[in-house]
Structure 1
Amino acid sequence: MIDKRFTPQGDGFHMPGEFERHAGCVIVWPQRPGSWSFGADAACAAFATVIKAIAASERVYVACGREHWARAESMLSGVDNVTLLPIETDDSWARDIGPTFVVRDSAGGRQVRGVNWSFNAWGGAVDGLYQDWRQDDAFAAAFAEKAGYELYDAAPFVLEGGSIHCDGEGTVMATEACLLSAGRNPELTKEEIEEKLKLYLGAEKVLWLPRGIYNDETNEHVDNVCAFIRPGEVVLAWTDNEDDPQYPLSEACLRYLELATDAKGRRLTVHKLPVPDVPVCIEADEVAGFDFAEGEDMREAGERLAASYVNFYFSNDSVVLPAFGGANAASDARAAAILARLCPERKIVQLPARAILTGGGNIHCITQQIPKGAGL
């Protein structure tokens, strides 16, 4: 039995919606040779572009190790609202290794605390993507200490930030493919995992989407397939092409969502956000630039990447949306138009994201939101 006095739920905290106004975000500078090809040149440029776009309306805290500090400092020099923090990591996925922030509103204002989960490189000994993840596992605590946030410790429960999505009103989404995978918490039942989510996210109801994006090496994180744009409304990655391996995955999610209700008893409005029309695959010249460590998951030329426009970031004034370019220029434009219609209160800022995608993720994956309230 978990003592609820020392969980966010017991203390009256909950995870806010990502569409809510917030203080800023944390991003980890790219550095791992097995994730970022050719010395991370293209990745650093892509990260810097994302950082500058987000910093236009909120503070961005950029964590960086000693070896790459000078480069980050040079590329971000003169950019307002950017703060560099010296923290060592194994890789650069702040969404998955950073604290999950929860809030409590009172007459005295909003309080903010973090939640630390165990991180095991998306599957540990079963199907983790690299062998040594100790610095990544320690990142949430290291950031919270520097930022001055109190931290709940959910360890040894394994969870990544990209595997959950909340509406800010008691509903959390996850995929069965990810959270029930053998490399996460195999000793727990689905019901026990759900109880953990409710306790540490202050949630009342968990929506279990069956699948995620095809060939997503995170075991199909929810943040790549479905996202709340406001309470009661979601965007769902979609394709009309029944021959695409993504089709049965998205169709299964749509069937589930059409019958689901949220924590407030509302039926969900589901907006389809099509994936790129042309599958995005990694090319031989890109693979040649990686330097894989022993035991690290290796990429192969022609491998289909988990490209999805659902993996966007809500900044305070914008939707920061990936663009994949090339044969998908029309798909990029279609995604921007859909989100402009769905989010008329925000600008659509679409940025080249291929260099991030070839590293294994996308714009949402490299950002972890920080709510307004006490802290840095």
Structure 2
Amino acid sequence: MILPPPPEWASHDAVWIGFPSHPELWLEDLEPARDEVAAFAKAVHADGRGEQVILVAADEEAAAAAREHAGDTARVVIEPFGDIWLRDTGPIIDGAGRAHDFRFNGWGGKYDLEGDSDVGRRLAEREQLGVEAHRWILEGGAIDGDGTGLCVTTEQCLLNPNRNPNLSKADVEALLAADLGYTRVLWLGDGLLNDHTDGHVDNLARFVGENRLLIPEATENDPNWRVYQDAAERARGSGVELVRFPSPGRVLSPEEEIVPASYMNFYIGNAAIVVPIYGQENDEAAIAALAALFPGRQVVGQRADHILTGGGSFHCISQQLPRL
């Protein structure tokens, strides 16, 4: 019997965090993104009160930069990868401490980068974890669990023909149960507008307790208002306890394009919760709401504008190692 992964609010031994390593991908955002990642790592470390932080760099140059940026708040390791989104390419660790390595195809063939397909296995082996390989495609950001065997996902991602075209909804549910111990699946519909992950749930809905699900509530002129409304209706119908949460609303890129900005891409660490903020009216409300939900942890709001140019934020670049 597979024990499902512990919920993110359970204790961690460590967390892997991807460190921006490829100038050709990040261009003028490279150094600012490195600053934001280092600030995230320091917040998670929380002056030694948090879990061990493992910054993962793709090469020697990036490793040297990571050491310079993070100082003694992180251990730096070198493992070649395509990009920093370790939530998706890193291993998922179950409740027995076994690492699960799923196939990865660049979010449906959009970004085929060398090193991403096997970095999860290499990271797990580096930490001397047993690794079980799976033949179907699954990214960690596509699912979230409450530790009891219940997980939430989106149809847009897990049923997308660019992932596993031969699998039905029933097939996916059976695989989630067999491989990760998720015996109950809450299916939401679409993810955020312009999200190149095809609707990863960690930008839309997060568990904050057993059977307790957080979903944003739309602001005026919010580009995702229909998405939030549909997700909330599905959650209510499933019997989970629904908690509404602020949305940053309409966030634009320098090119005036709507970006998939979300407060939901927070990371829950042992001592601190780090939430991306965007200079929006609801920034402080999001921080306050998380503080009320997790009174034993410090909630830190940090800008992640330059990380977001790559398509994600703090949760996307991290993957925890549970303390079992």
| Structure 2 letter corresponding to 1:197 | L
Match of 2:92 in 1: 100
> Which AA in structure 1 matches 2:172?
I
How many residues end up aligned between the 2 structures?
320
TM-score relative to the length of structure 1:
0.82
Residue segments in structure 2 that go unaligned for 5+ positions in a row: none
The one-letter code of the counterpart of 2:252 is C
Q: Which residue of 1 aligns with 2:185?
A: 206
1:194 maps to amino acid: E
> Which one-letter code corresponds to 1:83 in the other structure?
R
AA in 2 matched with 1:316: N
Structure 2 distance, partners of 1:191, 1:32, is 39
- 1:121 aligned to 106, 111, 119, which one? 106
TM (normalized to structure 2)? 0.95
Equivalent-residue separation in structure 2 for 1:303 and 1:33 (angstroms): 23
Partner in structure 1 of residue 63 of structure 2: 69
Q: Secondary structure at the match of 1:214?
A: coil
**Aligned mates of 2:207, 2:54 — CA distance in 1:** 24
1:164 maps to what in 2?
143
1:320 maps to 2:274: yes
State yes or no: 1:179 paired with 2:158: yes
Structure number, greater radius of gyration: 1
RMSD of the alignment, in Å?
Answer: 1.4
Contact 2:145 2:151 in 1 (8 A): yes
Q: 2-side partners of 1:319 and 1:143: how far apart?
A: 24
Unaligned runs of 5+ in 1: 1-9, 105-111, 261-266, 284-300
The secondary structure found in structure 2 opposite 1:26 is strand
Secondary structure of 1:31 counterpart = coil
- Report Cα offsets for 1:122-147 as digits up to 9, x if no partner: 002xxx1x2x3341111011101111
* 1:350 pairs with 2:301: yes
Mapping for residues 1-376 of structure 1, pairs under 5 Å: 10=1, 12-33=2-23, 35-38=25-28, 40-56=30-46, 57-66=50-59, 67-79=61-73, 82-104=74-96, 112-124=97-109, 128=110, 130=111, 132-155=112-135, 157-241=136-220, 243-260=221-238, 267-277=239-249, 279-283=250-254, 301-325=255-279, 328=280, 330-373=281-324
* 2:87/2:139 contact within 8 Å kept: yes
Counterpart for residue 292 of structure 1: none
CA displacement at 1:114 relative to structure 2: 0.5
Q: Tell me, in whole angstroms, the C-alpha distance in 1 between the residues paired with 2:24 and 2:260.
A: 17
Distance 1:33 1:123 in 2: 24
Paired with 1:72 and 1:192, the residues of 2 have a C-alpha distance of 41
Deviations 1:290-348 (A, max 9, x none): xxxxxxxxxxx2221111111100000222111112xx1x3101111111222222211
Residue identity in the other structure for 1:282: S
